[in-house]
Copies of this chain bind each other. A is one copy, B any other.
Amino acid sequence: MQMSHRIDGFQCSPIRRLSPYAREAAAKGIKVYHLNIGQPDIKTPEPALKAVQDYSAKTIAYGPSEGLPELREALSEYYKGYNCQVDPEDILITTGGSEAIQFSFMTVCDPYDEVIIPEPYYTNVASFANVAMVNLVPVTSRMDDGFVLPTIDDFESKITRKTGAILLCNPNNPTGHVYTREELLQLLKLVRKHDIFLIVDEVYREFCYDGKNFVSVLSFPEYADRVVCIDSFSKRFSMCGSRVGAIVTKNKEFLGGVLKLCQARLCPPDIEQHAALAALRADETTYIAEVKKEYQERRNVLVRGLHDIDGVKCNTPKGAFYLVAELPVDDAEQFAIFMLKDFNLDGETVMVAPCADFYVHKELGTRQVRLAYVINPNDLRHSLKCLAAGLKAYRRRMMHD
């Protein structure tokens, strides 16, 4: 019995596929620091947790496929704080940002159509593209340039009759780049010229550092009809397990298409929508400010620490909570496995996400890893020690092989 060819062609997530090694390490009593995954140790806001405890429905019933009306209302209010005029009717609640990207692909692209995306990109996008049978067409951003937006000519040269959209992640996962108003405006002019969509994943919107200003793609009303924004509560309120996200667009045809997909899967999870609603309504400005300060400190610890390790290169990310680091190794995946399987420093080690699968041109990521600075500064310092010692041990081993 054969499985489908397409499922054979699907990647196992580079963020999660090494987990069996991590479990084996843990089983041996080794403490594993997880820099591989964007799972913060930050607490969910109290009002969200309280909403869960106060959940009073006697029947956990289907909600509307569009999401809870109160949540769509509250999101519309929230966006005003980012200078975005969005009505509740412009918002569909999804089961996480993942579903939002998946549904967007299905809605703008037919099979074998194309989505242009700067690489490296959030690796799971490759799976969403695979499900939708969409080809990702990469435009390479480079560490040496600080992972800024590739030139508009680079993008334009990739546009064909098959192009449905350009997909951006801002602030960027995995590079941490925050796109400027000018960068966005150039892309908006381009998508208008070629009659395609600009889809921007803004789930890390809150986390911009060094006073860097965030500009939402929803804040350009004159381009509203070709803009789709992907959103999620996972990172903003450190509630990754809640699976509540959103698709936002003023384009009614687009929204009508997405709604068909929403109806097929019935509704997003109900209790978690109430949790997200409570956090939004409570106006967690102070919470966000504190979390942002915390991430900025963690970033500083990680970047400084990496610069102190011989042969390691990285930029200082301005947003989100990841960075891409280039390591002095032949193959970052082999190194990642080595760290879990064959290495520990005083009973501790580090799990990292190898970057090859964050690229269409996989060779560009062979020596790179994505690191998430979502654990506390003390744990980060331990992780850095492990990384430094692990690199030494790995290189020694390479020389002897």
Contact = CB atoms under 8 A, between A and B. Distances in A.
Nearest to A271: B271
Interface stretch (A83-91, A109-117, A203-211, A358-366): A109-117
Interface string A224-268: 011000000000001111110000000101101101110111111
A44 B58 contact: yes
Interface in A110-151: 110-111, 113, 124, 127-128, 131, 133
Interface in A80-117: 95-96, 98-99, 102, 106-111, 113
A181 interface: no
Given A43-B59, A127-B261, A1 B133 contact: no
A17 interface: yes
A7 B259 CA distance: 10
Contacts of A253: 1, 3
Contact of A266 (B44, B96, B266): B96
B62 A241 contact: yes
A6 B41 contact: no
A316 interface: no
A39 B10 contact: no
A26 interface: no
B65 A251 contact: no
Contacts of A40: 59
Interface stretch (A45-53, A317-325, A345-353, A384-392): A45-53
Interface string A52-63: 111101111111
Interface string A174-215: 000000000000000000000111000000000000000000
A334 interface: no
A267 B95 CA distance: 10
A382 interface: no
A5 interface: yes
A269 B269 contact: yes
A307 interface: no
A60 B272 contact: yes
Contacts of A107: 3-4, 7
Contacts of A99: 265
A260 B213 CA distance: 37
Contacts of A111: 6, 111, 133
A103 to B, nearest CB: 9
A242 to B, nearest CB: 5
A60 B4 contact: no
A49 to B, nearest CB: 7
B251 A269 contact: no
A17 B124 CA distance: 32
Given A59-B238, A241-B62, A242-B269, A264 B106 contact: no
Interface in A8-49: 8, 10-13, 15-17, 37, 39-44, 48-49
Given A4-B257, A60-B272, A241-B269, A263 B98 contact: no
20 contacts: A1-B226, A4-B106, A4-B109, A7-B106, A12-B263, A39-B61, A40-B59, A49-B58, A52-B53, A53-B54, A61-B241, A96-B266, A102-B265, A111-B133, A127-B261, A128-B264, A131-B261, A240-B266, A242-B269, A272-B272
Ordered nearest first, which 6 A-B pairs have the shortest CB separation?
A: A241-B270, A127-B264, A7-B257, A269-B269, A60-B239, A13-B263
Given A53-B54, A53-B55, A133-B133, 5 more contacts: A7-B257, A11-B260, A12-B260, A49-B58, A98-B265
